[in-house]
Chain A
Amino acid sequence: MNNILSIIKKEINHYFASFVAYVVLFVFLFVGGYYFYIYVFEVRDAARVMPFFLNFMGFLAFLLTPFITMRLFSEEKKTGTIELLLTSPITETQIILGKFFGALLLFLIYTSFTLYYLIILFIFGRPDIGPIITGYIGFILLESAYIAIGILLSLTTKNQIVSGILTLIALLVFWIIGWIGNYFGRPMQDILQYLSFLKHFEDFTKGIIDSKHVIFYLTVIGFNLFLSVRLLESRETVK
């Protein structure tokens, strides 16, 4: 546990020491803030602004996650520090979990800035608190799934850009797979739509918590982290 915590701490320090974390946060807040402003201005219904906004945030996070996850292992591999890490008494599972929670914590810090929007809504209107809570729960699950995929793909290459692009493509596929599903008949349609990140996220933003969606995200997170551990364990494949 201490090992995991120390990795998380190291990761967070590392993020905020680099300029990338600030640029990503800037884009997140600038684009997010603009859309929040548009939704408030257009919708004018305090109960419906956050569902719209959280949906958009899910989309924005998918574009930004690769910038964070692409360097997680690729960089360590390039600089050779991965060998240090692997020869230390820290287990592979601890490394993966540390990196995962480190990136997640970073995104939670990013997300915490959006609480400012909530304050505005509560001052100017009377939002419905239920869908906001479920929406944030859904967003955290969605973001965790993004990061888990990013970690796995970051392990496969030492080139950050390749890692980032692979992650972007993978997330894009999971994002649009539901629409692709529309062009198929059943049961292919059902399967593809089940794999869609968007479809599972939708209910959360409306104020619904369904075990089906929670289990879907936990499965994606768990499986990707499991694969990452396996990949890291077989060092031969990770030169």
Chain B
Amino acid sequence: MEKLKNIEFERIIIVMTLIFLFIGLSWILIADNNLVGFILLGLGLVGVGFLFFFHLEQVKKFLKEFQWDVFTQKISYILIILGILVVVNLIASKRFFRTDLTSEGRFTLSDHTINLLKEIKKSEKKIKMIFFRSEVSMISTVEDLLKEYKARSSQIELEIVDPDRKPQMAKEYNVRSIGLPYGGQRLFGSVIILCNGLKEEVDVLKFDYRQVGGRVQPQLLLKENIEKDISSAILRVTKSKKKIYFSSGHGEVDLEDDEKTGWSTTKIKIADENYIIDKVYLPSLGKVPSDCDVLIIGAPQKNYSPREFEILDKYLDEGGHLLILLEPFVKADFNPLLNKWGIRTSNKFVVDPKSSYWFQPIIPLITEYSFHKITEKLKFATFFPTVTPVEILDKKPQGVDIQPIARTSDESWVESESRPKELKFNPGSDKKGPITIMVALEKKLDNNKDIRLVVIGDSDFASNYSISSYGNLDFLLNAINWVAGKEELIGIRSKTPQIREIMLTQQKINFILYTCVFILPALVIFAGVFIWWRRR
């Protein structure tokens, strides 16, 4: 009788244990609050332990009967096999073969990205990606994409962080959430990419209006071309630092000068953008250094010699990247170099009474820019203390894309006199605005190189005194970055998964419910009972 009770008791424990384990695990898998799940799981494990204790005699007997000496003899053989298998898995984890069978090729990275990852493999750089994401299924697509990067490259380390759970980490990397207007839902979706102490951030969410059931509502959506953004960011962080040379010897801007007109602060700010800065005196070298990524000519006081112009001309022709900053009133004349490219400069200055810095008409304030890579993300105004016009000639060389970037207002003019008694527009001699004060030129060459040239009619805007005000710093850095050709991977098509909606009616729902949940299992039980009955 007691034994029977024991058996029943044991059965109850087995059933309870299984139920606890099942619900506990399901809870942890499905629900957000894991605590209850872990408690249930714990109870299940207690049940398992209890059953062990219940069968202690059997466990002891098993251990006693088990012949350990024979076992240890065999174990070395087994360990060798295990070792081989571990090695096989280690090799296999470096990947041989991976194929994506989804119809849209959702998990297939573009050839551009795969080539990029191959390049990184050669350079043996370690990349860390941290994905700050909220728990929303829409963002999972990006997580899948990042996992593909990781699967394709052993050098990529991926960490997925829920910023709501680790707010200090989100703060450390300065990750912000994006939210709907009027205090709506806020979500995180940013990929931080780190390599060589460089950091890039790719935001994957955008805010847009969508038509939902006849009404237009604001919604948070995934950006397009996320793969392109991520690959471009990887490209940027993995490239070695670019080198900027400042031409010297003609009274150019002084990179070590701490005074208001010096460039010491500016130099630090440029270096922060991942550049190595050096000076070059062209006549002594006879050429532009071969490791030069950007050559900056910063407001020389004296003119360059024809020999130097030859060097610069050759440099540009072979795919050079040149940034020229000018100043009015000086003798330096760059027309011998620039006319060929359809650009003319002078040493006159621009007066702008309508849009100026603190009502000083000789310091034009630019609030609107033409559409260009340099200015597309510029949010602030920029001011230029004494600026000289940079004119685009009607006759432009072929195959060259030349754009005016910044223009003064329509009430501005080019003052023809260098020391006018009074700042007044003279219709006869002065040229009426808007006046272009900056141009950007680009020409693609056959050998995958490109010529990039930016000419700005001022250098004071980037001096220690002005660089931190308004948008001046961004303006300068954007210009340098564009001239340097900070890479963007283009031609990566975005893949948004299609939704293949199941059109459900109440009838269909009932059909699925009854056939799947009741009829099919019931048939199985009937079959079982039938066979059992027949056997009896």
Contact = CB atoms under 8 A, between A and B. Distances in A.
A172 interface: yes
B92 A211 contact: yes
A41 B67 contact: no
Interface residues of chain A: helix, strand, loop or mixed (majority) = helix
Contacts of A239: 65
A161 interface: yes
Nearest to B90: A194
A41 B504 contact: yes
B62 A157 contact: yes
A131 B99 CA distance: 11
A22 B25 contact: no
Nearest to A46: B500
Contacts of A25: 524, 528
B78 A17 contact: no
B149 to A, nearest CB: 14
B98 to A, nearest CB: 4
A237 B501 contact: no
A174 interface: no
Given A156-B62, A159-B55, A211-B92, A126 B504 contact: no
Interface string B34-66: 000000000000001001100100110010011
A223 B82 contact: yes
Interface string A192-233: 001000000000001111111001100100110011001000
B97 interface: yes
A33 B502 CA distance: 17
A183 interface: no
A212 B517 contact: no
Interface in B474-523: 497-504, 508-509, 512-513, 515-517, 520-521
Chain A contact-residue range equals: 35 or more
Contacts of B21: 63, 168, 172
B429 interface: no
B153 to A, nearest CB: 14
B85 A222 contact: yes
Interface residues of B, number: 70
Contact of B78 (A124, A131, A230): A230
Contacts of A80: none
Nearest to A62: B25
B48 A219 contact: no
Interface string A84-115: 00000000000000000000000000000100
A120 B520 CA distance: 13
Contacts of B517: 30, 33-34, 37
A33 B517 CA distance: 5
A78 to B, nearest CB: 12
Contacts of A44: 501-502, 504
Interface string A115-127: 0110011001111
Interface stretch (B101-109, B383-391, B456-464): B101-109
Given A33-B521, A176-B25, A212-B95, 15 more contacts: A16-B531, A29-B520, A34-B516, A37-B513, A44-B501, A116-B516, A117-B516, A128-B500, A130-B100, A207-B101, A207-B106, A208-B101, A211-B95, A212-B98, A234-B71
